[in-house]
Structure 1
Amino acid sequence: MRSKQNIRNDVSKQLNMLPAHVYKQRSTRLADLLMQQDVWNQATTIALTVSRFPEVETAPLIAGALAENKKVVLPRINMKERTMAFFYITSTEELVENKYGLFEPKQEEACLVRPDELELIVVPGVAFTKAGKRLGLGGGFYDRFLPSCSGLTVALCFREQLFSDLPTEPHDVLIDKVISDDRVDAS
């Protein structure tokens, strides 16, 4: 089996070759697919991230959730401790860019969310299997955070990010549902 870093590099190369309009079109299709799912419609509190290219763009999900009056929560990371916590937002105006280029809720305006309040958690990653295996960027933030949550986890991925198998370790957390732009699979 290929190494985690080789998979990360290969996926990054493939997605970086996507023309901007194709990336945007496919991201929008994935957002639409998720927003048609029962898990989306039934959830009132949804954890998302502000994506960075070449991750599936999450701006349509954030806007859609806010428009549907859902409670939207986004993470703030603590790089030193390798942890994260989620905070409510009511507008993207409440975000600030951190020194790593990630957009997070402003500390002075943010209200902390307990992990058990999260009903749907949209988990980012580099690669996935239809059985729910996930390869992230290597920081382990979600693998440390998700065990404290009882909400459903969903991953959105382009078909280039979908693999038949991935190298995993005992601490890696499986994703409940993987939605790619050519199929929807649940583990």
Structure 2
Amino acid sequence: MDKTQLRARGKKILSELNPEDKKRIEHSFYLHLFKSDIWKKAISIGVTVSQESEWNTEPIIRQAWDENKFTVVPKCEPKSKRLDFYKLDDFDQLETVYFGLKEPDPTKTEPLKKSQIDLLIVPGLIYDRHGFRVGFGGGYYDRFLENYEGETVSLAASNQIVETIPKDEFDIPVNHLITEEGFLY
């Protein structure tokens, strides 16, 4: 399968999950993540603000706040296909942009440098066992991950894992993958 087919497969997997299964899988993600050393060591957590069809990141953001960690969320710059991360202290600091995405409002918060993010939770649709992923197609995260030195982790149900993914020279794997069963690596 090529990346376009894998992307469609990943979207289908997420859209067809019934609400009870989705909540059960998400709950296992959170348990494994919050017990992990990479979470415990991190002072700043980078994470997207999820849309309805994605794995829910609100509990991750709230847990980070409860533990007095910095939470930073990305703002996409479509012309340059760049991500800039902004500190998020309250959901009121978000604005709705294109395609209904929730992103930080730069007038209500402050940017953080890439080097200030300890743990980045990288979204995706399909993964292989080596940390390579098929995302939503913009290449934003691969650009951001270039020269990123912090830890990276993705959350994926076991049916989002495939044997191999076609790789391009700019694809950067995540360090860790959490499934409902725990850390895959």
TM-score, reference length from structure 1: 0.94
- Equivalence for 1:7: 6
Task: Work out whether residues 73 and 89 of structure 1, in 8 Å CA contact, stay in contact via their aligned partners in 2.
Answer: yes
Q: Which piece of structure 1 moves more, 12-21 or 140-149?
A: 12-21
| Residue 31 (structure 2) pairs with residue 32 (structure 1) | yes
User: Separation in 1 of the partners of 2:182 and 2:41?
Assistant: 21
- Deviation string for 1:131-158 (max 9, x for gaps)? 1111111100011111132100100111
CA RMSD of superposed structures (Å): 1.2
Kindly provide the amino acid, as one letter, of the partner of residue 160 in structure 1: N
Q: Percent identity?
A: 29
Kindly provide the amino acid, as one letter, of the partner of residue 125 in structure 1: G
- Deviation string for 1:77-105 (max 9, x for gaps)? 11122111001011122111112211111
- Deviation string for 1:19-40 (max 9, x for gaps)? 1222122112212211110000
SS at match of 1:144: helix
SS at match of 2:124: coil
Instruction: Note the residue ranges of structure 2 that are not aligned, 5 or more in a row.
Output: none
1:54, CA displacement in angstroms? 2.8
User: Separation in 1 of the partners of 2:142 and 2:126?
Assistant: 14
SS at match of 2:165: coil
Q: Could you list the runs of 4 or more consecutive aligned residues of structure 1 that deviate by over 3 angstroms after TM superposition?
A: none
SS at match of 2:51: coil
Give 1:10-159 correspondences, 5 Å limit: 10-159=9-158
1:174, CA displacement in angstroms? 0.9
1:55, CA displacement in angstroms? 2.1
1:76, CA displacement in angstroms? 0.6
Instruction: Note the residue ranges of structure 1 that are not aligned, 5 or more in a row.
Output: none
1:32–1:183 distance in 2 versus 1, CA, 3 Å: closer
User: Separation in 2 of the partners of 1:121 and 1:23?
Assistant: 22
User: Separation in 2 of the partners of 1:173 and 1:64?
Assistant: 27
1:130, CA displacement in angstroms? 2.3
User: Separation in 1 of the partners of 2:16 and 2:167?
Assistant: 27
Equivalent residue pairs, number:
185
TM-score, reference length from structure 2: 0.95
- Equivalence for 1:162: 161
